[in-house]
Every structure is written in structure tokens, then in C-alpha cells.
């Protein structure tokens, strides 16, 4: 580390009063949100720019981040979306031929407040036993009592609607206008790679703001709908649940990922619940109940679909389960061309085991075009 750099102290305060001392990184300031941890060893830039992390202060479990720098197009949206960052070690210097800049510059340019030199293993163990909670990090207020006052103002993630804050404000198109398949995308905070996976398969996309009316999306004459991922609690998104109901009533093929999956369940009156500490990482084992095969998946969610309510529903079937905790990872609607998964088949970052779900979507679309 160059001698010229002055390292400032920073502090992390948890909702239950636990305090961690560390060092400042990125912007000097204060940031708060729900504490969440990601166990992935790579892909920090894609993770930081994933809109589903809006409102969360993220712990990167890997003991070192920043060592391969950042690259302009390794992003899942136009800016950093996490509210704050906690790490063990940060590499100021990076080594990767394709990288354009350091993580330090990337985070400072994105005004992100970060803290490092924190015992992240102790911190993660703490959340794993106590459950998800809010936190605040600061490199400008080092007085714990003052930070407690600030932390008290931070809303709970449960009941928080955030999609409108990250969704596109204006509809836009993507891909080849002459493509034989048109897909309307409900952008609840869509990751770029989902759009890439869809357009590369030969679809012309129109990406609509999360709260667009069904009638408006229909003017695109879509052959199918894609319901994207997104931040926050899915339950308060009544406008989106209603739109999903209208899409289903019109018999349009539908594929939902993560928040999109939760909205498909909610549209069938299947409730979602806040998980103890969520799933965020690149190695979550999921079993496909239709093929009996296991996939290693990318995950990022703090809410999940109620398994008992799915079982009790005559028209909804569980297609995938998480092998760590048996939670619902995928559903299919028996009487409609619709399915969804809780995990991330676009997998940036992550393994590509689940990319077949995009093929399944296109097969379903084509079957419904005949």
C-alpha cells in the first residue's frame, strides 16, 4: 500500500448494539441499511451494481476483494446499488489485463461508503445466529451514541417497497426489432445480464417501468412477459402483483426471476416471508424436481415463497428446492404458461448450470405462438 495514503478510522454499529471498529474506504461518510452477506469469492463488481441490493449494507465474505480491479462493462446496472460495504481486506493494487481501474476509484466515483479490516467471519457468524438486522457504518461520525440515533431512523427491510427507486423511468427497447419473438420486461430493478440472455436468444425486448399498466405493455404486442428481479419486500408491490394477475388472465407466457418469482406466487395468494438471513452467494445447491438433477446456483434474496401455501394450492407446483434448507426455489403454474425461479439463471457472477431456464422460456413461448 503506498505510504502517501492516509487511512481514516471507521465504525460499524449493528441494530443490537454490537460495534466493530475498522478502517475507512471509498467515500468518507455514513451509510445505513440492512446487513447482508454474500459468500461468493468473485464477482464483486456485478454484485455491487445489482439493483436487488438496494437498501443493503453488504458484507463480502471473501477475505480479499479488489485484487482484480474493475472493468467498465462488468456491471449489472449503471451505478453501485449497495448502500454500503464491509470487507476484511481491500486490495488497493489490482492485477487483471482487462481491468480499467481500481476498486478504490470505482467505489469513490460511485460515492460508496465502505469499511474494511473488520472481522467479517465473526460478523457473519453473528448474523447467522441472530438473523438479519439493520446497521450503520460511518467514517465521519465516530460517536456510537450519535450513530444509534441515526440507525434508529433506518426503516426495516420487511414491508419496504424499493422497486420504483431502481426501475427505469421510461420504457426502452433492446435487441433486433425484426426478431420473431417480442418480450415485455417488467423492470423491478433488472440486472443487465438477464436482458442480454433474453435478447441473445433472438428476442426483441421492451423494458417497461415496474409500475406500467398492463394495457400499456400490451401495445408492444408481446408474445411473452419477463418479470425481473428487484430489491425490497415483494409483498407491498400491489401494483406489480395486479399486473402479473392480468398477464396470467391474458394467457401470456411468463417467466419470473427472484422478485419476479415472488410476485408470481403473490399473484396466486401464496405469501412470501422474511428469511432469517437470506441466501446470497454463488454455490447454493438447488434440486430440479422434474429432472432430479442438482444445479449449483447464484442467489441473492432475503424473502422467500411459503412452501406450505404452494403445496396447498391446486394450480401451483414446486419445481425446484434448495438442498440446504428445503426452501422453494422454483414454481410452475399448472393451468397457465408460467414459471419462475428464486435463484439467478443469468448468473453474473456465478456458475452457468441454470441457463437452460432461458431455453425453457423460449420453448414455452414458441409452443404458445402456434
Residues within the annotated binding site for L-glutamine? 52, 230, 232, 259, 262, 300, 302-303
Catalytic (active site) residue 258: yes
Active-site position among 223, 258, 279, 320: 258
Question: Interface mask (CB under 6 A) for ligand GLN, residues 38-57, using x and -?
Answer: --------------x-----
229 touches ligand GLN by CB under 6 A: yes
Task: Choose among 337, 345, 328, 329: nearest CA to 363.
Answer: 337
259 touches ligand GLN by CB under 6 A: yes
Question: Interface mask (CB under 6 A) for ligand GLN, residues 172-211, using x and -?
Answer: ----------------------------------------
232 touches ligand GLN by CB under 6 A: yes
Rg of the chain taking only CA atoms, in angstroms = 21
Q: How far is the CB of 230 from ligand GLN (least distance, A)?
A: 5
Q: Could you tell me the CA-to-CA distances from 3 to 7, 25, 92, 95, 102 in Å, in that order?
A: 10, 16, 12, 20, 17
Q: How far is the CB of 359 from ligand GLN (least distance, A)?
A: 21
Show contacts with ligand GLN in window 295-354 (CB under 6 A): 300-303
Q: How far is the CB of 303 from ligand GLN (least distance, A)?
A: 4
# of chain residues touching ligand GLN (CB under 6 A): 12
Cβ-based nearer residue to ligand GLN, 86 or 194? 194
Q: Which of 230, 253, 256, 337 binds ligand GLN (CB under 6 A)?
A: 230
Q: How far is the CB of 349 from ligand GLN (least distance, A)?
A: 14
231 touches ligand GLN by CB under 6 A: yes
Q: How far is the CB of 259 from ligand GLN (least distance, A)?
A: 4
Looking at the annotation, which residues are catalytic? 258, 344, 346
Amino acid at each position: 500500500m503506498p505510504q502517501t495514503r492516509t487511512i481514516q478510522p471507521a465504525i460499524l454499529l449493528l441494530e443490537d448494539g454490537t460495534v466493530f471498529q475498522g478502517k475507512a474506504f471509498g467515500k468518507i461518510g455514513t451509510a445505513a441499511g440492512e446487513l447482508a452477506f454474500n459468500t461468493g469469492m468473485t464477482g464483486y463488481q456485478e454484485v455491487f451494481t445489482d439493483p436487488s441490493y438496494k437498501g443493503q449494507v453488504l458484507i463480502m465474505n471473501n477475505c480479499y476483494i479488489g485484487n482484480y480491479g474493475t472493468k467498465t462493462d462488468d456491471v449489472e446496472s449503471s451505478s453501485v446499488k449497495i448502500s454500503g460495504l464491509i470487507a476484511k481486506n481491500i486490495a488497493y493494487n489490482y492485477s487483471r489485463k482487462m481491468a480499467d481501474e481500481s476498486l478504490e476509484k470505482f467505489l469513490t466515483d460511485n460515492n460508496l461508503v465502505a469499511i474494511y479490516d473488520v472481522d467479517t467471519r465473526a460478523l457473519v457468524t453473528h448474523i447467522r445466529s441472530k438473523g438479519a438486522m439493520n446497521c450503520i457504518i460511518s467514517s465521519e461520525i465516530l460517536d456510537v451514541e450519535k450513530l444509534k440515533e441515526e440507525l434508529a431512523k433506518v426503516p426495516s427491510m420487511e414491508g419496504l417497497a424499493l422497486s420504483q427507486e431502481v426501475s427505469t423511468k421510461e420504457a426502452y427497447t433492446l435487441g433486433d426489432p425484426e426478431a420473431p419473438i417480442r418480450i415485455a420486461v417488467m423492470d423491478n430493478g433488472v440486472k443487465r445480464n438477464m436482458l442480454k440472455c433474453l435478447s441473445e436468444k433472438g428476442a426483441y425486448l421492451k423494458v417497461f417501468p415496474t409500475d406500467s399498466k398492463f394495457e400499456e405493455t400490451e401495445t408492444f404486442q408481446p408474445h411473452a412477459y419477463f418479470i425481473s428481479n428487484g430489491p425490497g419486500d415483494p409483498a407491498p408491490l400491489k401494483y406489480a402483483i395486479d399486473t402479473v394477475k392480468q398477464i396470467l388472465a391474458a394467457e401470456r407466457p411468463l417467466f419470473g426471476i427472484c422478485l419476479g418469482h415472488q410476485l408470481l406466487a403473490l399473484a396466486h395468494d401464496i405469501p412470501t416471508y422474511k428469511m432469517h438471513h437470506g441466501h446470497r452467494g454463488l454455490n447454493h445447491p438447488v434440486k430440479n424436481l422434474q429432472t432430479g438433477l442438482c444445479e449449483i446456483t447464484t442467489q441473492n434474496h432475503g424473502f422467500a415463497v411459503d412452501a406450505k401455501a404452494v403445496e396447498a394450492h391446486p394450480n401451483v407446483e414446486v419445481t425446484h428446492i434448495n438442498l440446504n434448507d428445503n426452501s422453494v426455489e422454483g414454481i410452475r403454474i399448472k393451468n397457465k404458461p408460467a414459471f419462475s425461479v428464486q435463484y439467478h439463471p443469468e448468473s453474473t457472477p456465478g456458475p452457468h448450470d441454470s441457463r437452460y431456464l432461458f431455453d425453457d422460456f423460449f420453448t414455452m413461448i414458441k409452443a404458445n405462438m402456434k
